[in-house]
Chain A
Amino acid sequence: MLDSQRTWEMFRYFVRRVLQGVLTFFGATFIVYALMFANQTDPLQTLAGERPLPENVRQALTERYHLDDPFIVQYGHYMRGLLTGDFGISLTNRSIKEMMEQAWPVTVRLALLAIVIAVLISVTSGIISGIRRGGPFDTVTLIITLILLALPIVVLAPLAQLFFGVQLKWFPATAGADPGVYQLLLPAAVLATLVMATEIRVTRASVAENLRSDYVRTARAKGLSKRRVIGVHVLRNSLIPVITLIGLDLGNLMAGAIVTEGVFNIPGVGFNLFRGIRTEDGPLVVGFVSILVIVFIVVNLVVDLLYAVLDPRIRYE
């Protein structure tokens, strides 16, 4: 009885969140569009660079990109295209859809790889540190995480590239077009450090707290092995806050991806966004950001629902 009630609650919660997500989507794209619009000086001149732009070309381009229309009409044009799957063309005259089809798989691969690396390392070392607080492993991890926390990714990325890529030659220094897992390993590791420090600390604190709880004593009184007590009872409870954190970390990863993809020359979302912002390429930036917004909304929703699966005490009312 209680179970079906909870399922119904969860369903209503899900619907409400999806509706909220739609609003968020329109709001976010509107703001990004407005920002790009406000920032525009003369995108056509930026495009032409140093050369003078002939008047007839300027007129033709202005017409093609609706640059003469008021802002709200331009946004309307844009959204109509977006909702019908037409992302338009960038100011460099390339299909944005095509650019995305090349960029997104690369960034998704990079981000997933970074998350896997971050989770593997931080959950493992978080558990060990949590069990042996104050021991040598805990102390060394603490020092390393402090260093990682203190190093911004703009410093760490080139350093790692120089060290492991150029000098030691363990990994390729740049990834290049259509990079595979091996090419992405170093940039993903750099990206992972961005979130690893916090994830280790959260796992450690969570494990330490759960180890002290009464149900651990019960599990031991049940004659369960230490491995089972920690691997099943403590772990399942300790992972709840870590999973939430991983969802939130996705934002950090995307921000970090802009720098990392730039440094390692990875033709992903960050790379394109960076170029788009520099060249005032409105359609390009808004297109990529719109998809980013959708990714965020979906990931956050998944994390929230996962939270309920992991912790049966959570209720959605």
Chain B
Amino acid sequence: MTDIKAEIDVLPGLDSSARLLEVEDLRVEFRTQVGVAKAINGVNLHLDPGETLAILGESGCGKSVTAQAIMGILDSPPGFITGGSIRYRGVDLLTLPEEQRRRVRANHIAMIFQDALSALNPVFSVGFQLGELFRVHRGMSRQDAKRRAIELLDMVKIPAARQRVNDYPHQFSGGMRQRVMIAMALALDPKVLIADEPTTALDVTVQAQIMSLLAELQRERNMGLILITHDMGVVADVADRISVMYAGRVVEEAPVLDIYARPAHPYTKALLESIPRLDLKGQQLNVIKGLPPNLTRIPAGCAFHPRCGYAQSVCRADPPPQLFDVAAGRTARCHFWTEVAGDEPAVK
């Protein structure tokens, strides 16, 4: 894998001392026939090498849109990035010409999708789809590309890689397919990997295998990992930091242990309380009442106030709460964070 780096065309302005990935005040809207859906309303994220950042939230909170914006694969139209910046090692990806932007994908930032069966092209062998990366980005011959594809399948521990390289996606099991997906994302040795619900479509035992494979590969490569999920259980094991999103905003950001011990935002707290736990067997599970807001009509003030038990009149008034510093490296977007955090811890 050492020859790869030398071949990469260096991005102009790439500054190895700058932060690996920094998203600032990102705004995305979808212009649809029924109105403008404000999917992302000022998201800030950052990521360092070797670090795992989990982005947590319900469906429709903007997790996947954030990921697609970072990758630059937002469907446009209807999706438009209306503000903010995404800097990779100091280079603002949003101002890059399309040709350079394209080279960032797979070479520097790669992505794994949720459902590997539909995310892989059904009519090409996995060998073709893996080798394609080397042929397009490295100008390799078909033969060399195939050899690399076999190496990749070996890397993600697919048995009999030499034979299976000619198989089609539908001939693999769910877990094996997700391994192919991982191999594809890591083919060109990216520095940032975005995994969008990588284990949601898999059964629990396979989930654990895939997560440990991801963690292992991440450690080997000192890669920054953004893990998008709604599964708090997965997060606890692998994440270093958590960003909780609601209605297109990060409402709380904290190191993983802190957030489990003492959530500082009512939404985070409600999420934690909605996890079924063995020690609370037989009791009524606390679920979050109501639904996430319609993104074409996000409530004024704090978007969570209609569902929040702490809400008071200040929460309904614009502007929405700013980020409060809870502790070093910890923020929450709630007027009453002291009360939320001061309450009984959600998880003992």
A9 within 8 A of B: no
Is the beta-carbon distance between A218 and B103 smaller than 8 angstroms?
A: no
Is the beta-carbon distance between A215 and B105 smaller than 8 angstroms?
A: no
B310 within 8 A of A: no
User: What 0/1 readout, one digit per residue, does chain A (19-35) give for beta carbons within 8 Å of chain B?
Assistant: 00000000000000000
Contacts of A217 in B (CB 8 A): 68, 73, 113, 119
Contacts of B113 in A (CB 8 A): 214, 217-218, 221
User: What 0/1 readout, one digit per residue, does chain B (87-123) give for beta carbons within 8 Å of chain A?
Assistant: 0000000000000001111110011010100111111
A45 within 8 A of B: no
B184 within 8 A of A: yes
Is the beta-carbon distance between A215 and B102 smaller than 8 angstroms?
A: no
Is the beta-carbon distance between B119 and A215 smaller than 8 angstroms?
A: yes
Is the beta-carbon distance between A215 and B106 smaller than 8 angstroms?
A: no
Interface size of A in residues (CB-CB distance below 8 Å) = 24
Is the beta-carbon distance between B121 and A313 smaller than 8 angstroms?
A: no
Q: Which A1-31 residues have a C-beta within 8 angstroms of B?
A: 1-3
- Give the nearest-CB partner of B188 in chain A: A223
Is the beta-carbon distance between A213 and B118 smaller than 8 angstroms?
A: yes
* Interchain Cβ contacts within 8 Å, total number: 76
A181 within 8 A of B: no
Is the beta-carbon distance between A221 and B122 smaller than 8 angstroms?
A: no
Contacts of B115 in A (CB 8 A): 214
Contacts of A166 in B (CB 8 A): none
Q: How far is the CA of A218 from the CA of B110 in the complex (A)?
A: 10
| Interface SS of chain B | helix
Is the beta-carbon distance between B123 and A237 smaller than 8 angstroms?
A: yes
Contacts of A51 in B (CB 8 A): none
Contacts of B171 in A (CB 8 A): 2
Q: How far is the CA of A1 from the CA of B162 in the complex (A)?
A: 12
Is the beta-carbon distance between A222 and B184 smaller than 8 angstroms?
A: yes
Is the beta-carbon distance between A220 and B73 smaller than 8 angstroms?
A: yes
Contacts of A2 in B (CB 8 A): 167, 171
If A2-B167, A214-B113, A228-B136 touch, does A223 touch B103 (CB 8 Å cutoff)?
yes
B170 within 8 A of A: yes
Is the beta-carbon distance between A222 and B120 smaller than 8 angstroms?
A: no
Contacting B106 at CB < 8 Å: which of A3, A221, A236?
A221
Is the beta-carbon distance between B168 and A313 smaller than 8 angstroms?
A: yes
If A223-B107, A312-B168 touch, does A215 touch B133 (CB 8 Å cutoff)?
no
If A2-B167, A214-B115 touch, does A224 touch B123 (CB 8 Å cutoff)?
no
Q: Which B12-65 residues have a C-beta within 8 angstroms of A?
A: none
Q: Which B64-83 residues have a C-beta within 8 angstroms of A?
A: 68, 71, 73
Give the interface of B toward A (CB within 8 A): 68, 71, 73, 102-107, 110-111, 113, 115, 118-125, 132-133, 136-137, 163, 166-168, 170-171, 184
The 8 closest A-B pairs by CB, nearest first: A223-B105, A214-B118, A223-B106, A215-B121, A312-B168, A220-B73, A221-B111, A214-B119
Give the interface of A toward B (CB within 8 A): 1-3, 213-215, 217-225, 228, 233, 236-237, 240, 310-313
19 contacts between A and B (CB under 8 A): A2-B167, A2-B171, A214-B113, A215-B119, A215-B121, A218-B119, A218-B120, A218-B121, A221-B73, A221-B110, A221-B111, A221-B113, A222-B136, A222-B184, A223-B102, A224-B132, A237-B121, A310-B123, A312-B122
